[in-house]
Chain A
Amino acid sequence: MALFLRSNHLTAILLVLLLCQLLYASGSVLVKGEEEFSEELLLKPLPDRKVLAHFHFETRAPPSNSHGRHHHLFPKAIAQLVKKLRVKEMELSFTQGRWRYEQWGGYDTISSNNAKPPGVELWAVFDVPQSLVDASWRNLTHTLSGLFCASINFLESSTAYSDPEWTFQPSLGKLRYGTLPREAVCTENLTPWLKLLPCRDKAGLSALMDRPSIYRGFYHSQRLRLTSSESGLNGVDSGIILEQTLTVVLQPNSRTGKIYSGKTNIQPSWSISSIFGRKVSGKCVLSKTSNVYFHIEKGLISELENLQKKNTNSGADKFALEGFSSNLAFELSVTPDKMFEEVDNLDNKSASVLYEFSIEKYSDSQPFDLGLTWKIPVVWSTRQGPLHASRFLMGSGNQRGAIAISLESTELNEDLPNIDGGCELRVDIFQVVPWYIKVYFHTLRVFLDQKPRAVADVIEKIRVSPSKDKVSPGVMEMILKLPCGTKSAALTLEFDKGFLHIDEYPPDANQGYDIPSAVISFPNFDTRMHLSEDVNKSPMLSKFQEKSPVLSYTEILLVPLTTPDFSMPYNVITITCTVFALYFGSLLNVLRKRVGEEERLLKSRAGQKTGRISQLLSKLSAKLRGKQQEQPQLSAAASSFISFKLVFKILLVAGIAVAWQYFWE
């Protein structure tokens, strides 16, 4: 008994020790070795009368060896994938539509992390030796392809992926990046993604995902991000954090106020049930936190404060919890439980505000339905990134062209960091170009404020790996240092259009070929949101508080290439057959010809007298040509005789046919 007790004590002590170690090792919130799940939804009105809904689900599996192969909440498929392929970090996104940086903002975490290029984007970092990275990538693409019912397996070919070195994170060559711009995204991709959630879409916030309404929006991006902590040396399994987000931009359905020119019309009022067609009836019971946030951004706040000042002349009351119902511009149907205010470190004037609504107290009988009613028209603008990037094609025709990336300054140059006196703006550009677009990197030209500049003056660092035909795409990474106050910058790169082999053409080849989006990031600017209170409990808000650079994607480009007439194989077959027939025919002819015999035959024929008609004809032709020609041209006469006979025969047959036709009518 005593022994048992002692051993029990020992176990307890060991457990405590282990826990302490874990705490020290990870330093994260994983106090207990338990898997956690949290669900959150952020709603935000956008200036162009649309609503942004951002779902954030996070599942954590702590590093432990106690579970073995079993998980309570964490999806087994993902855990196996991480374990088998030793994925250190991975991000997969399916996107439909474009993120409009000018209208929906380009400076916050959502636009930097969740605005993705159309189609599929995948990048992954592996924890394997350098030589095995490509093999792991191939396995990963196939696994994901099966998991998400998408053609991610096309990223397997070495022409489809690349290995950026600096753009995403310093990775020592273990990062692989690939995009499929033409992948169509639909419910078949969403369903497997939902299957990874413990409650699927049966309960909690994910129950809002009514397929028709979330696919009717202007932007739809589902994203899955995996982070696995360093696997311990002492046999401890790696901990995995699975972050699933769905970002949709929806148009509230109240189009009652028909657009009439002249006046700015009022923002449409909406509620959760009107934009999703469903209400939230309680949380997913497995989730630790289940919150809905309502975000009012900086521009709107300052606009509201102006309004308030104008109307009341009293001091701006801020949007405190109690004061918020007296808001002039809009009204929320549910009183928020909590309010977070952003603390701007520069000026304390206006900063964005987050209202928190906890779902826990709502149930089937009393569903949660947040509604927003606008009372007066308000116009505001979102916060823009430092430069607005756009990319386009130049030139026309099937031979050559140029890619241009233009960076236009937005009205945001006030908080540029000063680096040793001279103020500089750093821009990182990452561009992948498929091999059939043969980019000449030496033709890179840089224009600042419409003046050409030497490349070396502007570009601090550049890494180029030229494309190899049918082997690898061309990759360009560069770091630009622009002087502050640059109004516009433009980069051009010329390219030749290549030819593809007949079986390399994709379906609908005449549409043209896509150049994937370029990634443009501004490492000097970071999207961190400084909140007044500690928000450790909420994974989404702590994500917002992480330091990450402002990042934007450019448009996808469509390059028309020369395409063959795909009915050509038929023509080729016909021509080849003709050539073969001619060749073999003449060969046989030559082989079976006996020259001596033929000469004898000809001689005997020449010796014969020509027929009367032919003589007559030759005379006639001689007369026609106005020449006194005694000796008839034998060959001509003979051939004309033959043709005469032939013509006569044809005429005879035709005459008979005509007569026949008439007779039978």
Chain B
Amino acid sequence: MAETEISKMRQRPIVRLGVLLISHSVLVSVVCFTAGVLALLLLPVLAKNTYISENALMPGSASSMLSNQEISEANKLIKELTSLSSKPSGAAIEIQGLIAHYMSSLDAEVNYHKFHPQLNQFHPLHFFSSPDSGVMQENSSCSLYGINIVGIIRAPRGDGKEAIVLVTPYNSVKSSVNEALSLGIAYSVFSLLTRVTWLAKDIIWLVADSQYGEDVPVAAWLRGYHTPAFSNLGTLNTETCHDSNNIDVLKGSPNLETKISNGFRRSGTMAAGLVLKVAYRNEIEDSLCIHAEASNGQMPNLDLINIVNYLAVHRQGLRVKVDKFWSLLNSKFLKILGDLFELVGKLVKSLNPDCKFGIPAVDYIEGAATLASSLYYQALGAPTGPHGAFRDYQVDAITLEISPHISFNKDRRNDFLLQGARLVEGVVRSVNNLLEKFHQSFFLYLLTSPSKFVSVGVYMIAFALLVAPLPVVAASLYAETHDLFPTSEKDRSATSDDLSSVLGSWKWLNSAKTTFVVHIWGAIVSLLPYFISHNSNPTANFRMWILLSVASHEILRWILGSPFSHICGRPQGEWAVLKSVTIFSFFIGLCLMSVINFATAEIGALLMVPMALMAHPLKLDIRSRSFKSFLRAICNVILGVISFPPATFFVLKGIFEGSFSGTNVGDFWNWVESLWAWNSATYLYIGMVHLPCWVLCVYILLHPC
């Protein structure tokens, strides 16, 4: 007794602390989880103001050179475009010819880029791999093609090592006034840039043919730019089957033939990409919406958003917005929280006037809605605009969506064009000033407003607090079943022989096998859509998927043994070991995911951690007949329903859209389809971490002990 005590006394403080935490695992997990949720809710309060980190950018330091002359030129282009697009047929080629003609009359190098749109297909092995040139060509058919128009201004005294890309999506088949306006803005900037002397980087203007979606042409062009196929039999076939007379028609006018070429023209390494769009959204004032999220939650450098925000607010007087969940603005819960934080902030301020904590409740609600959408779009892993394609090639890019005033008419159009063009000019000039690539500012951040951000150092805390209980609970469960606690050690240490203790200590292997089998099943489930995605009906697909998943689950159980068949010496402890291993594997999965896509891991932790921590066999709870266990059983059932991915989807959808009516089972399939179409890692997370963990938790709930 004395000896053991002395050995205990001599343990290092850190071990003692660990033992303390593990022995109070329930308390620790409750405290940590609550603190994690609280930290997440506090993020809008903790957001900092953005600042321009790279001094070389100098946004707005030069006055705009853009004058009404360029605008009137642009107006002419818009007029011609709208008159052409009102024609019934054959206008597409004429429109393309017109744009190319305008470009080349500015002494820019112009070329057409023909591309074949690729069908969104599930490529299970192409996650994380860089875009490939030749792989997907065989799907393209001859009749489907689009034509991008690319204009390049060579910087007069530059060495052509770097380029800035301007993108305007334009649907030549079914064009709208908005697109013509965005072309007009880009054209006026482009015509100015052909004459300026300060240009150090080349300017590429890409008029992307958006008849197959806005992202497809940009991605195709970037693929051609970075990974051209010198010899592609697939493209060769398509070339032969299609006589490229359309392009010949395009080159009709004789004077331009020297300037317009079919060859792919290039410039240097891309410094930044700006996608320009115009949208009518019934705004009360001229506003600018910034979309920045690229695939897998990658963001462009914060400095790029900062200069756009700075120039739009301080130079052009535009109202800048980023995406937010509008439905959250009316949330009662957020309002109460906001009031609470405001009160706390006031209290703190009265105690210490220097302390800057707390924001007005209105700001809090706005910030929370923006933060939620920022988190959601990052977690989704799909880009929010054509800029997403740039990020795949490590180019910082954002989409600028300018919306005019609600009472938009002819007279206001010139002002609007001037405003937009000056903004773009300012951004181009800033980026042009930059000698190095964007590296000064943040890459990992969440926006709570266009001028406020939460950096990785702050939002890590919430995630760390959320996942911290997992290893503690896993260890405590393991220790409980293995009697590692000193309290029960006294009677065991003398009696038990070596063999049984060795067997007992390897008991977890059985649970590990179960966990492993379920994870394999998860991998199979996430591969299944590859085989059933040929059907077009989403509801049928979804049902098929569920059916196949259940079937494969049964088959796997049959082949690799039922998880409950193993009879161990201590059956009552088995569920605890299973839970321990489940929690641990989930912990590893979450940590891995947090490296790949932080937002996914954060949301996943928020959804799944309570279930994983609470899971307790229902039979035991019912048997014990106490109020506490009854409450736990009810919680478990509710959590178990909510954490099932499709259920989560529908619940969240209902909450954000305000009503559950009109939801369709196929919606989930469509959502998942969009995930794999964008090669989102979130899909892998759901299939291989989230779903297996849920299944294992259900195993525990239904454990026959």
A613 an interface residue at 8 Å Cβ cutoff?
Answer: no
Contacts of A406 in B (CB 8 A): 230
Partner of A218, one of B76, B105, B157, B159: B157
A130 to B704 Cα, complex, angstroms: 89
A232 an interface residue at 8 Å Cβ cutoff?
Answer: no
B393 an interface residue at 8 Å Cβ cutoff?
Answer: yes
Q: Are A511 and B436 in contact (CB under 8 A)?
A: yes
Contacts of B263 in A (CB 8 A): 408
A510 an interface residue at 8 Å Cβ cutoff?
Answer: yes
Please judge, given known A-B contacts A447-B231, A451-B231, whether A48 and B107 are in contact too, CB under 8 Å: yes
Segment with Cβ contacts to B, from A37-45, A255-263, A468-476, A539-547:
A255-263
Q: Are A558 and B161 in contact (CB under 8 A)?
A: yes
Q: Are A98 and B16 in contact (CB under 8 A)?
A: no
Q: Are A397 and B161 in contact (CB under 8 A)?
A: no
A466 an interface residue at 8 Å Cβ cutoff?
Answer: no
A386 an interface residue at 8 Å Cβ cutoff?
Answer: no
B411 an interface residue at 8 Å Cβ cutoff?
Answer: no
Q: Are B226 and A635 in contact (CB under 8 A)?
A: no
Segment with Cβ contacts to A, from B1-9, B523-531, B641-649:
B1-9
A217 to B197 Cα, complex, angstroms: 10
The size bracket of the interface on B is 35 or more
Q: Are B154 and A633 in contact (CB under 8 A)?
A: no
A639 an interface residue at 8 Å Cβ cutoff?
Answer: yes
Please judge, given known A-B contacts A492-B230, A512-B437, A635-B19, whether A555 and B157 are in contact too, CB under 8 Å: no
Contacts of A118 in B (CB 8 A): 159
Please judge, given known A-B contacts A261-B105, A396-B394, A558-B161, whether A508 and B228 are in contact too, CB under 8 Å: no
Q: Are B154 and A661 in contact (CB under 8 A)?
A: no
Please judge, given known A-B contacts A48-B107, A511-B437, whether A394 and B226 are in contact too, CB under 8 Å: yes
B565 an interface residue at 8 Å Cβ cutoff?
Answer: no
Q: Are B156 and A447 in contact (CB under 8 A)?
A: no
B572 an interface residue at 8 Å Cβ cutoff?
Answer: no
Partner of A259, one of B20, B105, B393: B105
A556 an interface residue at 8 Å Cβ cutoff?
Answer: yes
Contacts of B19 in A (CB 8 A): 635-636
Across the two chains, which residue of chain B brings its CB closest to A398? B394
Q: Are B232 and A510 in contact (CB under 8 A)?
A: no
Q: Are A264 and B255 in contact (CB under 8 A)?
A: yes
B211 an interface residue at 8 Å Cβ cutoff?
Answer: no
Please judge, given known A-B contacts A404-B228, A556-B160, whether A450 and B352 are in contact too, CB under 8 Å: no
Q: Are B258 and A606 in contact (CB under 8 A)?
A: no
Q: Which of A368-396 contact B (CB under 8 A)?
A: 379, 381, 390, 392-396
Q: Which of A448-475 contact B (CB under 8 A)?
A: 450-452
A629 an interface residue at 8 Å Cβ cutoff?
Answer: yes
Per-position 1/0 for B133-152, Cβ under 8 A of A: 00000000000000000000
B106 an interface residue at 8 Å Cβ cutoff?
Answer: yes
Partner of A490, one of B11, B156, B162, B230: B230
Partner of A396, one of B77, B352, B393: B393
Q: Are B6 and A397 in contact (CB under 8 A)?
A: no
Q: Are A98 and B231 in contact (CB under 8 A)?
A: no
A72 an interface residue at 8 Å Cβ cutoff?
Answer: no
Q: Are B268 and A259 in contact (CB under 8 A)?
A: no
B486 an interface residue at 8 Å Cβ cutoff?
Answer: yes
Q: Are B5 and A216 in contact (CB under 8 A)?
A: no
A73 an interface residue at 8 Å Cβ cutoff?
Answer: no
Q: Are B266 and A606 in contact (CB under 8 A)?
A: no
Q: Which of A543-599 contact B (CB under 8 A)?
A: 555-560, 563, 599
Please judge, given known A-B contacts A48-B107, A181-B159, A510-B439, whether A258 and B69 are in contact too, CB under 8 Å: yes
A492 to B229 Cα, complex, angstroms: 11
Contacts of A627 in B (CB 8 A): 487
B158 an interface residue at 8 Å Cβ cutoff?
Answer: yes
Q: Are A395 and B269 in contact (CB under 8 A)?
A: no
B227 an interface residue at 8 Å Cβ cutoff?
Answer: yes
The size bracket of the interface on A is 35 or more
Per-position 1/0 for A495-516, Cβ under 8 A of B: 0000000000000111110100
Please judge, given known A-B contacts A514-B161, A556-B159, A599-B6, whether A396 and B20 are in contact too, CB under 8 Å: no
Q: Are A393 and B269 in contact (CB under 8 A)?
A: yes
Across the two chains, which residue of chain A brings its CB closest to B23? A636
B435 an interface residue at 8 Å Cβ cutoff?
Answer: yes
Q: Which of B106-145 contact A (CB under 8 A)?
A: 106-107, 130
Contacts of A202 in B (CB 8 A): none
Partner of B161, one of A394, A408, A557, A658: A557
- B265 smallest CB distance to A (angstroms): 9
Q: Are B130 and A447 in contact (CB under 8 A)?
A: no
Q: Are B268 and A396 in contact (CB under 8 A)?
A: no
Q: Are A661 and B6 in contact (CB under 8 A)?
A: no
B251 an interface residue at 8 Å Cβ cutoff?
Answer: no
A260 to B76 Cα, complex, angstroms: 10
B392 an interface residue at 8 Å Cβ cutoff?
Answer: yes
Partner of A557, one of B16, B232, B268, B352: B268
Contacts of B351 in A (CB 8 A): 658, 661
B595 an interface residue at 8 Å Cβ cutoff?
Answer: no
A181 to B77 Cα, complex, angstroms: 40
B442 an interface residue at 8 Å Cβ cutoff?
Answer: no
Partner of B230, one of A181, A398, A447, A602: A447
Contacts of B350 in A (CB 8 A): 665
Q: Are A261 and B236 in contact (CB under 8 A)?
A: no
Contacts of A395 in B (CB 8 A): 130, 226-227
A634 an interface residue at 8 Å Cβ cutoff?
Answer: yes
B212 an interface residue at 8 Å Cβ cutoff?
Answer: no
Q: Are B154 and A100 in contact (CB under 8 A)?
A: yes
Q: Which of A631-665 contact B (CB under 8 A)?
A: 631, 633-636, 639-640, 658, 661, 665
Q: Are B130 and A396 in contact (CB under 8 A)?
A: yes
A563 to B436 Cα, complex, angstroms: 11
Q: Are A560 and B394 in contact (CB under 8 A)?
A: yes
Across the two chains, which residue of chain B brings its CB closest to A446? B230
Q: Which of A33-91 contact B (CB under 8 A)?
A: 48-49
Across the two chains, which residue of chain A brings its CB closest to B197? A216
- B493 smallest CB distance to A (angstroms): 16
A119 to B159 Cα, complex, angstroms: 9
A96 an interface residue at 8 Å Cβ cutoff?
Answer: yes
Q: Are A96 and B226 in contact (CB under 8 A)?
A: no
A560 to B444 Cα, complex, angstroms: 20
B616 an interface residue at 8 Å Cβ cutoff?
Answer: no
A577 to B9 Cα, complex, angstroms: 31
Partner of A450, one of B11, B159, B227, B232: B232
A198 an interface residue at 8 Å Cβ cutoff?
Answer: no
A451 to B350 Cα, complex, angstroms: 77
B579 an interface residue at 8 Å Cβ cutoff?
Answer: no
Per-position 1/0 for B90-107, Cβ under 8 A of A: 000000000001100111
Q: Are B269 and A512 in contact (CB under 8 A)?
A: yes
Q: Are A397 and B130 in contact (CB under 8 A)?
A: yes
| B17, B19, B231 pick with most chain A CB within 10 angstroms | B231
A497 to B266 Cα, complex, angstroms: 22
Q: Are A629 and B487 in contact (CB under 8 A)?
A: yes
A559 to B102 Cα, complex, angstroms: 33
29 cross-chain CB contacts under 8 A: A48-B107, A49-B107, A96-B157, A181-B159, A216-B197, A261-B101, A264-B255, A393-B226, A394-B228, A396-B392, A398-B394, A404-B228, A408-B263, A447-B231, A450-B231, A451-B231, A490-B230, A510-B439, A512-B269, A512-B437, A555-B160, A556-B159, A599-B6, A602-B9, A603-B2, A635-B9, A635-B16, A635-B20, A636-B19
Q: Which residues of B contact A (CB under 8 A)?
A: 2, 5-6, 8-9, 11, 16-17, 19-20, 23-24, 69, 73, 76-77, 101-102, 105-107, 130, 154, 156-162, 191, 195, 197, 226-228, 230-232, 236, 255, 258, 263, 266, 268-269, 350-352, 392-394, 435-437, 439, 486-487
Given contacts A450-B231, A560-B269, 19 further A-B contacts (CB under 8 A): A49-B107, A98-B158, A118-B159, A216-B197, A218-B157, A259-B107, A260-B105, A379-B255, A392-B266, A394-B228, A396-B394, A406-B230, A452-B231, A555-B268, A556-B160, A557-B269, A558-B268, A635-B16, A635-B20
Nearest 3 pairs of A and B residues by beta carbon: A510-B436, A558-B161, A118-B159
